[in-house]
Structure 1
Amino acid sequence: MLTLTGVGVRYGDRQILHRVDVRVAPGELLAVLGANGSGKSTLLRAAAGLAPLADGTVTVNGRPRHPLDIAMVFQKIHLVGRRSALENVCAGALGRLPLSRSLVPALFPRALREEAMACLDRVGLADRAHDRAESLSGGQQQRVAIARALCQRAPVVLADEPVSALDPSAAEQVLGLLAELAHGEGLAVLAVLHQPELARRHADRIVGLRDGRVVLDGLPTEPVHHLYTNGVLEPVT
């Protein structure tokens, strides 16, 4: 589904990624681990088209990546707090709407509202559809953000440290939801994480980065202590 081949990213004279190869299959949750500065977020930005490639290619289903192929879930959730959960989810479809129908939530088509409600139901929040986003807990807001990504109808979901601001219980729920959606909807989900233990419990596969290079690509049971030998994070074996 999502394939990065020989991807290199350079900022000035500094090489951040060194010809990285990563593939995420349909129905798979791939967790990217590594210490701070290892290139995790740059990898995700390169996959999304937010970082210019010095080398390599990014494809979705064997074709050059298109913006509508990829949905993003961010660490900072970026909901419009004064808008309802339903209206925030509808925003995931703005790329498919004519400009005149996308500027005012009251003009969202009925079919889109029904689709957004189905997405909220999929993440377990249909009963909060008409509540303001700012009234929801952090974990609930992140689930709304995931529903918004679903409403985009993208085959690939990129999640940039989606649980780092959540308490342990909410983090488990959100990672479990991403895994469930990958398996149930056939999505290719790539999640950058700081928590190896969450990756072990929820990911289908782990890619480990060190100094901008892939040094691990395997099952969640693989040891990952060598990714953190600089002491930036507590080693986990």
Structure 2
Amino acid sequence: MSLRIRGLRKAYGGRTVLDGFDLDVAPGEFVVLLGANGSGKSTALRCVVGLEQADGGTIETGSRAAMVFQQIHLVPRRTVIDNVSAGALGRLPLRRSLHPLLFPRELREEAMACLDRVGLAGRAADRAGRLSGGQQQRVAIARALCQRASVLLADEPVSALDPSAAEQVVALLADLARTGGLAVAAVLHQPGLAVRHADRVVGLRAGRVTLDERAAGLNPADLDFLYGEQGAAA
């Protein structure tokens, strides 16, 4: 199992956001987290990568986890390949990480392979700010791949994209799981995308898992329960 979460708890003040959250994601599996705003989906992913400190529970990953965000956070004036190469900065000596011109050749070759994997090798020399929103999110995914993570997390990665670009990005995440052997988990607010592309759907309500089904078996009653009046965390 590449990602294993057990009994995760998180509260802000007196408000419980995660209340004994469990999740398993296997290599080669694409899991989508669904639920109303405030149900704990994004908080769970942020705890995995250390952006939030859990109050209790355990998190195990196969090696490392990389995350893609709703806000893409590319450097618009830098080239696409510079942005992707930045995913490997943690592996470089400080001196070589200070400027893109000092990136070693093998790193740029690895970054180019990651860009090819997301279908953007032909845009490597372009400034990132010249790309469309969907293309920029694919660059962000390539940057995450350059971290050599075994777990890829995506927090609302398509919320700012048009339907066509959103479809392409979610299809890419599914393909990275199935052909790349990654464990991929994504927070989405589009159940239709989850049904079309995910292997499993995990539903959260008030910080707890209330649904864990094969995506093809999801039905309207499941969604009504997740997104009903009491779907958000108290």
The bucket for the TM-score relative to the shorter chain is: over 0.9
Aligned to 2:228: 229
Counterpart check, 1:193 vs 2:176 = no
Q: Distance in 2 between matches of 1:216 and 1:27?
A: 21
**1:71 aligns with one of 53, 58, 66:** 66
1:148, distance to aligned residue in structure 2 (A)? 0.4
Q: SS of the residue aligned with 2:106?
A: helix
1:232, distance to aligned residue in structure 2 (A)? 8.2
Matches of residues 125-204 of structure 1 in structure 2 within 5 Å?
125-204=120-199
Identity over the aligned pairs, expressed in percent? 65
Matching residue's letter, 2:18: L
Matches of residues 9-28 of structure 1 in structure 2 within 5 Å?
9-28=10-29
Are 2:30 and 2:177, in contact at CA under 8 Å, matched by a contact in 1? yes
Q: For residues 90-115 of structure 1, give each alpha carbon's deviation from its aligned partner in whole angstroms, at most 9, with x where no partner exists.
A: 00000111110001000000000011
Matching residue's letter, 1:53: A
Aligned to 1:60: 61
Matches of residues 211-226 of structure 1 in structure 2 within 5 Å?
211-220=206-215, 221-223=217-219, 224-226=223-225
Q: For residues 90-145 of structure 1, give each alpha carbon's deviation from its aligned partner in whole angstroms, at most 9, with x where no partner exists.
A: 00000111110001000000000011011111111011000000000000000000
The alignment's C-alpha RMSD in Å is: 1.4
Aligned to 2:6: 5
Aligned to 1:109: 104
Matching residue's letter, 1:222: L
Aligned to 1:90: 85
Count of residues paired in the alignment: 227
TM-score by length of 2: 0.94
Are 2:33 and 2:202, in contact at CA under 8 Å, matched by a contact in 1? yes
1:41, distance to aligned residue in structure 2 (A)? 1.0
Are 2:45 and 2:155, in contact at CA under 8 Å, matched by a contact in 1? yes
Q: Distance in 2 between matches of 1:195 and 1:48?
A: 24
Deviating more after overlay: 168-177 vs 213-222:
213-222
Q: Distance in 2 between matches of 1:159 and 1:15?
A: 23
Q: SS of the residue aligned with 2:154?
A: strand
Are 2:39 and 2:231, in contact at CA under 8 Å, matched by a contact in 1? no
TM-score by length of 1: 0.93
Aligned to 1:40: 41
Q: Distance in 2 between matches of 1:23 and 1:174?
A: 22
Matching residue's letter, 1:183: R
Matching residue's letter, 1:122: R
1:225, distance to aligned residue in structure 2 (A)? 2.1
Q: Which runs of 4+ in 1 moved over 6 A?
A: none
Unpaired runs of 5+ in structure 1?
none
Q: Distance in 2 between matches of 1:47 and 1:19?
A: 14
Are 2:206 and 2:231, in contact at CA under 8 Å, matched by a contact in 1? no
Cα distance, 1:168–1:232 mapped onto 2, change above 3 Å: farther
Are 2:118 and 2:138, in contact at CA under 8 Å, matched by a contact in 1? yes
1:85, distance to aligned residue in structure 2 (A)? 0.4
1:183, distance to aligned residue in structure 2 (A)? 0.8
Matching residue's letter, 2:31: L
